[in-house]
Amino acid sequence: MRRLLVSGPLLAVALVMTVSAGVPAQADPGPRPAAAEAAVVCSLSCDRLDPSLAQRESFPVPDEDINGRRLRLHVSDPDSMAWASVDDGLSGDSVWLDRSWDAGVTWEPLLGRASIPGTWTGTRTLMYNLTDPRHHKRGWLRACGDAGTVGCTNWVHPTVCDTLCDGTDAGRAAGDDQPVPSATLYGRVIRLHVDQRNSMAWGSVESGGPGDEIWLDRSWDEGATWPDGSSLGRTAVPGGATTTRTAMFATRDPRGLLYGGAVRACGREATHQEGGCTAWVRPVPSRPRAAADALMASYDPDQGWWHSSWWNSAATLTALIDFARRTGTHDYDWVVARTFDRNKGVFAAGERSSDPVEGHFISRSIDDTAWWGMAWVTAYDYTHDPRYLTEATTIAEYLRQYWDTGTCGGGMWWDRERTYKNSVTTGLYLSLTASLHRRVADDTVWGGRAAEAGKWFLSSGLIDSSGLVNDGLTGDCRNNGQTVWSYNQGLAIGGLTELWRGTGDATVLDAARRLADSALASTRLTVGGVLTESCDVGQRACDDNQKQFKGVFMRNLDSLRQAADSAAYRQFVRKQADSVWAADRDGLNRLGQRWAGGDPNQTDWRTQSSALAALTAAE
């Protein structure tokens, strides 16, 4: 094996390239079973990228000689891609890559096959990905060629490296946590150990005998499969001993864009030839970091969003940036630019939203567009990149078309058809305009628009007699009495708080506090002191939009908490985070809809990002 230096935008660590000794050079790959025809894999780049675009070139395995031709495997570590070349050849000689997702048992053959043309003496393939983060897979690749006979290099499989690399001695662990019960097997005790700080794990067997074995399994899809992570560090109990342990293995692969890996410890009792395993688990370096790792397992780095909800992806990106800013964790900084670059263009209906996206994140759904405006304000605050502030301003100018004083004296239309004036769209507009006033140099426009929006919201009738924000207005401009949702309450709180920051008007901050106090005291938004939507109770279920409402409330309440320095708000924030962690988390750090626990409980990336906002606010 060789050590290769990784650089580039994702990671700078020493990367060990593991070469498979089980597949000899010059072995004809034909007799072994082939995987199904290869689908195009996309990570930060898609398969078939030209090697001239590689960020780096290294040669992790020895070249192979095929009848005097030189067969070579090339790897670009920052791109996590590889290509093959053949030199000193003749016209018609060919070269290709094989890629396996199961350690060389089966493979996708003849990837990028190219033949030496005309009077040339060499050629190369295009580049192919070593990992498939969207489908939670790590691959093995080798170069193969045909020059009268078929030969291949050894397989290459990058060792996983995070803070530490696979194979690190467990004696270097920063701690020894045992988060799941041990497994027993004929008196043997199989334990899973976790170094939470470094997200590393190892296994041990106790009360064993000679020949008993211990190993780790590692899965990138929450324990559903582990084809490239079976029997990691397999170690036998030596003669005269009763215990042994594996080396440590990483649970995150930042270079391969694979996060939130799950591990379990497994063992085999030698006499009976039987095995047993602990439960799967993900490490917890910190509560918000664990939530963010699990969330990122659902991010598509190729398309740059979370499938398949448009506005929810904007709110999730906002939650992820808040997490990074609050905790100083920079692992996912690349996601900000990736999401922007991959989604700022035009998309047909059904590609991102049920409506066409017309460029600059704009669609007929006014509130969907506004969520993206808020995401880019948050991105600007975090990165100081002016293109994000420019994008937020472009979005706000578009939204301004739907502020209409001719109906109800003001307020935002929810859609282009101007059928409904509601709380979410107006609350977002208030938040966005107030944010731009504080960030656009020498602003003479957005401050006035924010003040106008804040004044209208407070007098519009959207707020009922108990201080709670209903969903919208009737056609004759009265409160429609529809459901009180936490995100409507939160947007009003956050928008007014941001307006106060730009104006210093104490009456505006007082209004935000009244809305917050009403929410915390209301049984329509809290049960037992825990934030609860109306769809969280009984046998009800929340739709994909409602799954994210509470996280929006928490981000905005936390903004007021920082402005008002309220002990009551601090206590409420802490209670939400503690309840999420104690009652709404499983062993893989998946966080559900019901923050107080209970069934039925829904869990997906939307509930994950919502709960992440609660954990972040408590930091």
- For residue 60, cis peptide bond before it (omega within 30 degrees of 0): no
Question: Residue 340 and residue 26: Cα distance in Å, rounded?
Answer: 46
pLDDT at 18 over 70: no
SS3 29: coil
Asked if 618 and 318 touch (Cβ cutoff 8 Å), the reply is no
Confidence tier at 408 by pLDDT (50, 70, 90): very high
The two tokens of residue 330 are 């920079």
Q: Are 223 and 272 in contact (CB under 8 A)?
A: no
pTM of the model: 0.93
557 with 493: CB under 8 angstroms?
Answer: yes
Strand pairing partners for 146? 94, 150
Residue with tokens 């979370």: 306
Listed range (12-26, 233-247, 505-519, 596-610) with the worst mean pLDDT: 12-26
pLDDT at 316: 98
Split at pLDDT 50, 70, 90, the class of 3 is very low
249-269 pLDDT, tens digit each: 999 999 999 999 999 999 999
Confidence label for 38 from pLDDT (cuts 50, 70 and 90):
confident
Segment 172-211, tens digit of pLDDT: 999 999 999 999 999 999 999 999 999 999 999 999 999 9
Give tens-digit pLDDT for 555-612: 999 999 999 999 999 999 999 999 999 999 999 999 999 999 999 999 999 999 999 9
pLDDT at 37: 63
pLDDT at 21 over 60: no
Half-sphere exposure of 372 (CA within 13 A, CB side): 29
Average pLDDT of the segment spanning 406-419? 97
Q: Which of 141, 75, 139 is nearest to 111 (CA)?
A: 141
Strand residues in 329-371 grouped as ranges (E): 346-347, 357-358
Q: What is the full DSSP assignment across 364-410?
A: SBHHHHHHHHHHHHHHHHHH--HHHHHHHHHHHHHHHTTB-TTTTTS
